[in-house]
Amino acid sequence: MMKEIACKLLVIGAGPGGYVCAIRAGQLGIDTVIVEFGKPGGTCLNVGCIPSKALIHAAEEFEKISHMASGKSLLGISIAAPSIDLEATIAWKDGIVSRLNSGVVGLLKKAGVKTVHGWAKFRDGKTVEVQTETGMQVVRAEMVVIATGSAPVELPFLPFGGAVISSTEALGLSEVPERLAVVGGGYIGLELGIAFAKLGAKVSVVEALPRVLAQYDAELTRPVVKRLTELGIEVLVNAKAKGLSSKGDALLVETGNGRNGKIAADRILVTVGRKPVVEDWGLEQIDLDMAGKFIRIDDQCRTSMRGIFAIGDVTGEPMLAHRAMAQGEMVAEIVAGHKRSWDKRSIPAICFTDPELVTAGLSPEEAKRIGGEIKVGMFPFAANGRAMTKLGEDGFVRVVARADNHLVLGIQAVGQGVSELSTAFGLALEMGARLEDIAGTIHAHPTQGEGFQEAGLKALGHALHV
């Protein structure tokens, strides 16, 4: 039986962008329906950001204890060798995901949003059909937000299945693989590769480019590369994965000099990027303008079709949950008649490797290309008291500013726990801070955040502690 409902706003996809858009629209009194095939929270909450950070934290704790058991701990703590029950760890991770899922469901209800569970397909620009468990549901809407997200890219010669896994399956393994080959040395591959190495796997990373984490500058990634060596992770750069061995127990590779080799592996984790989900939901029925494989949007997230917006990963880089959330909130307010547009100076990006990486705004190279003469201030954590007490002396904070008026253009950091500094970095850029603003703000002592102030002082030519 076909049922019909009408609403003012239809949101397709309940990932970070979609559910935030629907909640904000509901708060603003807009009659809103959200359609989701899986669990609310999307990739980020279910098989991405949240579960991976849980696994990374468990791996960090295990490695810390293992180090204490090795008799090499500088803290004077010694204990017996630990063991890990990965199934129990995964159950703990699933518990966190479940609590957050329930939270999103509760927030949507509280905002008065109607949720339809199923797969939406466009019939035309204002109508979708949703195949639900109880039959076909037709939703007619005045306005539609496409928030269908992204999915892992599959390599044709290494299709997912069996030993070949994506990040989704890696976050659900019941035991630590003895040997793990990671194809792709970007942030997802290295975050998970480092975590499994800490849990006891023998990890090899295969990267086609001349260096890993190629989207960051080499100075920033140096402490991470050093740590990979310390953890015994084998890194092959300028190397191409070619497929699975005939027995299915090894990854075939072609190294930089054109030689063929193989890496023995119980599991092969393919992390060569993500692609927008633009298939199977009727994109051909509405004929939107595309920007490459992504949906083209303007600075209000409007597509080429009137009344249809698109947000999040389906609209292109950077594919980050917090970008999708900010776009979702903005679109809800535009639908409610508020004056809003996308004018963000900074979308901070974090790589949860060991040590962590944070970038906000422009790198020194980008700033030189765009703005000409710059000042750069860098402060090493080796000169920071709090970093010393946490055994986290590797890394630094770096501030990039215009030479003429000292406007801060970019801030980067690498070090233990620097992900939490991203908030300060984003705020400084968004508020148009100058070097004098950062240098003149009293930073609490002893904290790693003092490195931010010191980097500002260094760029002005009068650092105090280095």
- Could you read off the pLDDT of 80-99 as tens digits, one per residue? 999 999 999 999 999 999 99
**Helix (H) / strand (E) containing 48:** none
- Taking phi over 0 as left and psi of -120 to 50 as alpha, with beta for the rest, 124 belongs to beta
- As given in the structure block, the two tokens for residue 182 are 């990671």
Position 281 confidence tier, pLDDT thresholds 50, 70, 90: very high
pLDDT at 372 over 90: no
Q: What pLDDT sits at residue 353? A: 98
Distance (Å, whole) CA 377 – CA 296 = 37
* pLDDT confidence bin for 79, thresholds 50/70/90: very high
- The pair phi, psi for residue 435, each rounded to 5°, is -55, -40
Indicate the burial class of 91 (C-beta count within 10 angstroms; 0-12, 13-18, 19 or more).
Answer: exposed
Query: Is 40 a residue whose pLDDT tops 70?
Result: yes
> What average pLDDT does the chain have?
96
Q: Is the pLDDT of residue 371 over 80?
A: no
The reported pLDDT for the residue numbered 257 is 84
State the Cα torsion 194-65-355-253 to the nearest 10°: -20
Distance CA 286, CA 291 (A): 15
Q: Which of 67, 117, 338, 445 is catalytic?
A: 445
DSSP structural state of residue 158? B
Q: Which residue has the tokens 């760890």?
A: 89
Using DSSP's 3-state secondary structure scheme, residue 67 falls into helix
Instruction: Look up the pTM and report it.
Output: 0.96
Q: For residue 179, what pLDDT is reported?
A: 98
* Amino acid making up residue 407: L
Average pLDDT on 330-340 reads: 98
Q: In this structure, are residues 226 and 214 in contact, taking their beta carbons and an 8 Å threshold? A: no
What DSSP string runs through 413-455? EEETTGGGGHHHHHHHHHTT-BHHHHHTSPPPSS-TTHHHHHH
pLDDT category at 1 given cuts 50, 70, 90 is: low
* 275: alpha, beta or left? (left if phi > 0; alpha if psi -120 to 50): beta
- Ramachandran angles phi, psi of 118, nearest 5°: 160, -175
- Is the pLDDT at 3 greater than 90? The verdict is no
Is residue 2's pLDDT more than 80?
A: no
Distance CA 326, CA 299 (A): 12
| Residues with Cβ within 8 Å of residue 42, at least 6 apart in sequence | 13, 14, 15, 16, 17, 18, 19, 48, 149
Q: How many helices (H) and strands (E) does the chain have?
A: 14, 24
Q: Report pLDDT digits (tens) over 238-278.
A: 999 999 999 999 999 999 888 999 999 999 999 999 999 99
Q: What is the mean pLDDT of residues 123-151?
A: 96
- Phi/psi region, residue 381 (left: phi>0; alpha: psi -120 to 50; beta: rest), is alpha
Judge whether 322 counts as a catalytic residue: no
CB 429 within 8 A of CB 346: yes
- pLDDT value of position 378: 98
